[in-house]
Structure 1
Amino acid sequence: MREALLAEVLKLRRSRLPWLTAAAFAIAAAVCGLFMFILQDTGRARALGLLGDKAQLSGATADWPGYLALLAQATAVGGLLILGTLTTWLFGREFSDRTVKDLLALPTSRSAIVAAKFVVAAGWSLLLALWTTVLGLLAGMLLELPGASTAVLAAGAARMVITALLTYALTTPFALVASAGRGYLPAVGAIFAALFSSQVVAALGYGASFPYSVPGLYAGLAGPGQDAPGPLGHLLVLTVGLTGGAATMAWWRRADHDR
């Protein structure tokens, strides 16, 4: 496991993906900060035209609770795309780079290889959540948003991290799709299908029972006064994460038979 983990960390460090994912989350934090800047002054929002209208339609309030909630919502929606791409890359690159045969021939167990990929993806997802939280706190301080307190900031940071981890758990099936599909494209299609379905099901009012809608609802995407997903929703997310991981590991164990 140690050797497999070091190899996966080295692959990630030598790629451009960490920088791209960090930049994507930084842009999300910047956009949320821009919305707060606009919402601080309704006259400024009208002067900016359509952008101001979009900021007002977000339903956020120009204070710390509203800002942190908006950041968590951006993490839930954009995170599925970004973290799903990360997981897809970790598994799909072995087929695109034609290194899968080398992996299958190594004395390192395939279970350790798959587990190492998932651990690296989980660790980087957590770092991205912390990175976005730090950027959000800095932007909020620059904007001098009202309503700051230790409890508010701690609760907002915790919601960011939990949202990111819930979102990451839902990406494990994309690893299976990338493996069985032998490349990136099938998994990318699955990511967009899951993202689209999560929005539609949530709009129909069944999001609490649909795992891919749960992170967004937990982050407050449905708006104030709406029910957050209960234990069932979180259990469904955990089930999807564990099932996707177990199925991916089972596929890799039988990869020689599927060729």
Structure 2
Amino acid sequence: MKEIKAALWMEILKVRRTKIFPISVYFFIFIGIMMGFLMFVARHPEIANRSATISTKTSFLPGSDWNAFFDLMIQLVLTLGVIGSGIITSWNFGREFSDRTVKDLLSLPVPRSTIVLSKLIILFVWNILLSICFVVTAIISGLLLQVPGWSGTALTPFLVTFMMCVIFNSLLITPVALIASAGRGYMLPISFIILILIFTQLLFVGLPDLTFWFPWALPALFSGVAGEALPSPGYISYLIFILTILAGLFGTIAWWRYTDHR
């Protein structure tokens, strides 16, 4: 227990001393504010028509009330969560190699598995925090800009669905951690995240019946924002999802434990 506490504290200090943490928080807050602004513009076509870009973006919105706003927030966090969690995971693991601190890290009297677990725990909490910053800011923006159709009864099921999607995305950092470790840097895991996003979109558009086999499609299927025509996630979807997480976790631990880091 002392070892995991020491490793966690070490990772917390690393995050606190870096600029990427406040930048990521400010970015997610900014996106939340922009979501409220987008709904405001959708309610006022005279503003949207002044800019072709804004008009195009608002034309894709299903509506301008809170139900549409809730759906928009879930859709955005499904994509933003994958990108955000992937970037911070790539940074956390990849920087140890790019900054050449991995040897110093491994020389500490702490098991390598504990180091990996502490990193993943901090990253999981970090990603949850970013998503909370986003949704709180978006809701406050919507209230201040008086988005119509507010319903307290609809808020609870939305928050449950939203947080479940966030948790799903946050758990999928383990394969990214493995690729960042094996690639010894940033580029390979970030390329992997981009590939995952493209492949997920292609599945939903071209092969929707196969989406329940793909773990990164589970959050969208669970939330229902992908549409009623798509299959609901079944036991096999959750099983593949869990196996993917475990494969990434134990693969990362094994890589850190047995690979020659000279």
Give the aligned partner of residue 217 of structure 2: 213
The CA distance in 1 between the partners of 2:47 and 2:100, in whole Å, is: 54
Q: In 2 relative to 1, CA 137–228 (structure 1 residues): closer, same or farther, beyond 3 Å?
A: farther
Q: In 2 relative to 1, CA 16–219 (structure 1 residues): closer, same or farther, beyond 3 Å?
A: farther
Q: 2:32 aligns with which of 11, 29, 32?
A: 29
The CA distance in 2 between the partners of 1:234 and 1:36, in whole Å, is: 34
Structure 2 alignment gaps of length 5 or more: none
Cα deviation for residue 142 of structure 1 reads 1.2
Give the aligned partner of residue 254 of structure 2: 250
The CA distance in 1 between the partners of 2:170 and 2:35, in whole Å, is: 21
| Deviation >4 Å, runs of 4+ | none
Amino acid of the structure 2 residue aligned with 1:75:
V
The CA distance in 2 between the partners of 1:228 and 1:78, in whole Å, is: 23
Give the aligned partner of residue 138 of structure 1: 140
For residues 66-215 of structure 1, what are the structure 2 equivalents within 5 Å? Answer: 66-204=68-206, 205=208, 206-215=210-219
The CA distance in 2 between the partners of 1:21 and 1:229, in whole Å, is: 32
Q: In 2 relative to 1, CA 27–145 (structure 1 residues): closer, same or farther, beyond 3 Å?
A: same
Q: In 2 relative to 1, CA 126–201 (structure 1 residues): closer, same or farther, beyond 3 Å?
A: same
Query: Residue deviations 1:67-104, cap 9 Å, x none?
Result: 12211111111211111011111111111111111122
Q: 2:238 aligns with which of 222, 227, 234?
A: 234
The CA distance in 1 between the partners of 2:59 and 2:41, in whole Å, is: 8
TM-score by length of 1: 0.91
SS at match of 2:184: coil
Contact 1:46 1:53 in 2 (8 A): no
SS at match of 2:169: helix
Cα deviation for residue 138 of structure 1 reads 0.2
Contact 1:28 1:74 in 2 (8 A): no
Cα deviation for residue 240 of structure 1 reads 1.6
Amino acid of the structure 2 residue aligned with 1:167:
N
TM-score by length of 2: 0.90
SS at match of 1:26: helix
Query: Residue deviations 1:152-201, cap 9 Å, x none?
Result: 11122222221111112222111111111111111111111111111111
SS at match of 1:133: helix
Contact 1:80 1:167 in 2 (8 A): yes
Structure 1 alignment gaps of length 5 or more: none
The CA distance in 2 between the partners of 1:235 and 1:142, in whole Å, is: 42
Q: In 2 relative to 1, CA 25–238 (structure 1 residues): closer, same or farther, beyond 3 Å?
A: farther
Cα deviation for residue 62 of structure 1 reads 1.3
Q: Is 93-102 or 5-14 further displaced after alignment?
A: 93-102
State the Cα RMSD in Å: 1.9
Q: In 2 relative to 1, CA 139–241 (structure 1 residues): closer, same or farther, beyond 3 Å?
A: same
Identical residues among aligned pairs (%) = 33
Cα deviation for residue 28 of structure 1 reads 2.5
Aligned length: 256
Give the aligned partner of residue 226 of structure 2: 222
